[in-house]
Every structure is written in structure tokens, then in C-alpha cells.
Structure 1
Amino acid sequence: MEIVHEPPNSWQELELIVAKILNQCGFDAKRGKQISTVRGTVNIDVFAKDSNSTPSSEYLIECKYWNTDIPQMVIHSFRTVVSDYGSQHGIIIAKKGFQSGAYEATKNTNIHLLSWNEFLSLFEKRWLEKRIKRIHHTAKPLHIYSDPLDVSDYRNQLSKNEISKYKKLCEDYIKYSIYTHEIAFGEIVSMSLTHKEQIDNIIKTAQKHFEGYSFNSYTDFFEHIEQKCVEGIHLFEELFKNTDAKLHVQRYN
């Protein structure tokens, strides 16, 4: 499974998705940024700053949605821009490929020539780590609300009708709580598997329990789970609105 299922279908979408993925990785990525170099101003398709690295680093990224291979002269020109700006990393992402000599032009430089799939693979581990941390944080209130023991004091303040609604909400949303927990901790999966294999197996199992939904990529899965967690939390908060349950949950989140 990959971060996204389908490759971009235009140069605009290529730039947008690259910036989105890098932002989800924890970068500060901007599309269409103008930078100043020793030779003047230059427009960069995607500019990304990684403040989480030590020291912080910057990426200049060119997205080439060309139906032909990228020629060597483009590499030389981009290499000059990266050098003049003083960026730690330069990346060219090509839809098709690179002409012979292009890779030779990057030897002993900080320029990386990538296909779309190579770009996804390069940032996949970091993307998964960030998305797992985010969904774990998002789902914490749902873990508490859907555990009757955690909210027993506040559950006792509900009417019979509200208790019935509570039980129905637990039935509807407990699977989202379970799978976010498994994604975050991988408790039921063999430690002999890689992290990616663990996640793939969990998603494969989850697919059987989510009728009407098809997970063709990590993004499909994480966005659906996160949306349902937020939805469930809102419904639980509405049910417990006349109690202090929300304050109780916030203390543990």
C-alpha cells in the first residue's frame, strides 16, 4: 500500500500533493515560492523547511509533469539554483524519467532525481509516523468515551433513553477506537514484521469490518478513521453535555 493510490494527473496536482505530503510529514511546505539567490529571484515549485531536523534544513523541489525525459541541462540549471541559494537538498520529481547523463550530473551533489513512486517511498516512513501520532492524539477522547468504566460516574447521570443512546454510540464507534489503538501500538501483530507490514495487515483486517468503504491507500484509511473519530467524539460530547464528562476527558487528552 502507498501513501496515495493514484498518481497526479496534472502539474498543478503534482505540486499540490507533494506540498501536502511534506506538510503531513511535519515540514513547512509552500507551493510556488519565490526565493532570492546571488543571481536574482527564482520561482520554485515547492519550497519546504524541515525545522524538526538538527540543524534545520531546506528543500528546493521542482515538479516536472513532462511526457518526455528530463534533459541533463535542466539538472545543471537546477543544481546552480540550489547551490546559489545554499539549500541543503534539491529534488526533481519527474512524471516520466530522466535522459542519459542526468544522473551523472548529480554525482557528488545534494540533488536527488526521483520518480513519483520514489518520492513516496523516500518520505513514507516519516509520513506514517506523523499520521499515526496525529490519529492517536485525535482518537484519545473516543477511547475514553467508548469505555463505560472510564465514564461510569457521568454515565450514571444519564436518563434511560440517553443510556440506550450511549450503548448505540459505543456499538457504532468502538471499532474506530480499536483500530486507532492497534495502529498506534500494534499490540496484536507479530514483532517480526516491519512497521509497514504491521500497518498493512491492520488495514487489511479493518477492511473486512468497514462495509461500504474501500481503502486503496494509507490516505484513504487514515482520513476515514480520523473523520469517524471526530464525528463520534462530537456525538458523545453532545450526549454528555449536561455532565462534566468533557472536562474529565480533556484532563487525559
Structure 2
Amino acid sequence: MKFTHKQPQTWQELQNLTAEYLAVAGYKATTPYELNTARGKVEVDVYVEAPYELVKHIICECKYWETPVTKEKIHAFRTVVHDCGAELGIIISKNGYQSGAIEAAAFSNVKLETWESFLNIIMDKWIDNRLWAIKVMAARVMSFSDEYTYRTEGLTAEEYPLYQHACNSALTTTEQCLLILKSDLLNDGSILDRFAIQQQYQDIETYLNELFKKLQEALEILEKLSVKPDKSDRFISTMKMYMEYADD
């Protein structure tokens, strides 16, 4: 299954989508962002912070141009990356790069990417983070629906129908969330046939975002109930089970 079918249609969309994918992948991404450099203030398209990785500060420049990026733009960008102290600079170009631009970026801390190659770089971390968030949410929903530990008798007459509706509507969703692994999505695993997601969704991003949305809707109802489940019980055991079977 393809990761995504999204294609930016404007320079602003290219910039915003770049920041959105990075944010879901676990980075702190801000667009636009004003930096202090050795030569004064400069605004960059996307500023990325990754405090838990070796490369902690990244600048992304998004070029939605009809022509390939020139070497002069690479030289200018390299100066900004250097002057602000970022460890890495990434240019994402709609229409590639001139040969001189490729030479100008060689042996430097500037990477030249297209939209497609940027997606290939970010895909693994995006899927990992999205799946983890979904599985945590699914385990939380299940902690409400566990008939052995959740005290439904404490719900009011008004709350009980809302509780039943939220749990029933999320039943199939939680099952998918806890069983689907990244390897299934990337390699068209046999479990996908059980949920027939190839017919329902065009790509991995749409599918996972839809699961996320459905869980959010259920949790918005469940978390408002007067009776809360014991997080130390079903919630933790479910997440431990996932950790044992999750992809390496």
C-alpha cells in the first residue's frame, strides 16, 4: 500500500505539509520561523527541533518552483544553515536541481530532496509514531469497554446510552488498531484482507488518520463519563502485549 497520495499544489501547501509530516513523525516543526544568525534575523520556511536525536536542529527550505533550483540558492542556504548553528539543512524542491546546485551541496550538511524523496525519508518515523498514538488510544478505549474491570453500574441513566454507543462504534476500530503492524501496511500483510482496507482507503496515511479520528470521537465521549477505568489494569497490559509483538 502506498504511503500517501498527497501532492502540494502551492508553495504554502508544500511548506505546511512538510511541517505537518515532521510533527506527526515526532519532531517539533514550526512554519515559518524567524532565526537569529551571525548576520542578523532571517525567516526560514520550516524550523525543526529534534532534542532526542544526534541532529538536533534542522532547517527546511521549500521551493515550489517551475524550474530546478540553482547553485546560487544552495550557496545562500548553506550560509543560513551555518550562521544559525543548525546541524542539517534540507531543501525540498518541486522540480529538482541544476547540476551546479547538486555540486554545491556535495560534501556539505545540506541535503537536496524532492517531495517524493522527502516522503521516503519521513515515512518510517511517521508510521511508527502514528501507529503508537493509535494503539495507546485504542487501549484506552478498551479499558472503558472491559466488562470485568469497568464499573458500568456507576454510570448515570443519561451516561449509559452514550457509553454503549461509543464502545460499540469503536469496536471494529480498536480491533484493527491493536492487530495492524507497520510491516502489514508496508508489505500488504494477509491481515489486511480481514479488514479489507485496500478497498476502503487509498493509502496508509488516509487509513491511519481515519482510525485516529474514530478513536478520538469515541474518547471524547468516554473521557467525559463520571466513571473512569483503572489505567493500571487493562490499559498497561494491552500496551505490553503490543510491545511484545510490534515491529522491530
Note whether the superposition's TM-score is higher than 0.5. yes
Question: Is the Cα–Cα contact under 8 Å of residues 48 and 58 in structure 2 kept in the other structure?
Answer: yes
> In structure 2, what is the Cα distance between the partners aligned to 1:36 and 1:235?
45
Aligned equivalent of 1:142: 141
* Secondary structure at 1:8 match in 2: coil
> In structure 2, what is the Cα distance between the partners aligned to 1:126 and 1:83?
26
> In structure 2, what is the Cα distance between the partners aligned to 1:85 and 1:157?
57
Question: Is the Cα–Cα contact under 8 Å of residues 26 and 52 in structure 1 kept in the other structure?
Answer: no
Aligned residues: 235
> In structure 1, what is the Cα distance between the partners aligned to 2:200 and 2:14?
23
Aligned equivalent of 2:79: 80
Aligned equivalent of 1:222: 208
Aligned equivalent of 2:186: 197
1:57–1:158 CA distance, 2 compared to 1 (3 A): closer
Question: Is the Cα–Cα contact under 8 Å of residues 141 and 250 in structure 1 kept in the other structure?
Answer: no
* Secondary structure at 2:99 match in 1: coil
1:19 aligns with 2:19: yes
Letter in 1 for 2:173: Y
Structure 2 unaligned segments of length 5 or more: list them.
237-248
> In structure 1, what is the Cα distance between the partners aligned to 2:217 and 2:102?
48
Aligned equivalent of 1:34: 34
* TM-score normalised by L of structure 1: 0.79
Letter in 2 for 1:131: R
* Secondary structure at 2:59 match in 1: strand
What aligned pairs does 1:173-184 form with structure 2 within 5 A after superposition?
173-183=170-180
Question: Is the Cα–Cα contact under 8 Å of residues 149 and 229 in structure 2 kept in the other structure?
Answer: no
Structure 1 unaligned segments of length 5 or more: list them.
187-192
1:167–1:32 CA distance, 2 compared to 1 (3 A): closer
Deviation larger for 15-24 or 219-228: 219-228
What aligned pairs does 1:1-253 form with structure 2 within 5 A after superposition?
1-54=1-54, 57-151=56-150, 154-155=151-152, 170-183=167-180, 186=181, 194=183, 196-197=185-186, 205-208=194-197, 214-236=200-222, 241=226, 244=227, 246-249=228-231, 252=235
1:61–1:175 CA distance, 2 compared to 1 (3 A): same
> In structure 2, what is the Cα distance between the partners aligned to 1:201 and 1:107?
43
Note the C-alpha offset of 1:157: 6.1
* Secondary structure at 2:89 match in 1: strand
> In structure 1, what is the Cα distance between the partners aligned to 2:124 and 2:101?
27
> In structure 1, what is the Cα distance between the partners aligned to 2:142 and 2:187?
21
1:48–1:229 CA distance, 2 compared to 1 (3 A): same
Note the C-alpha offset of 1:167: 6.3
Note the C-alpha offset of 1:182: 1.2
1:221–1:201 CA distance, 2 compared to 1 (3 A): farther
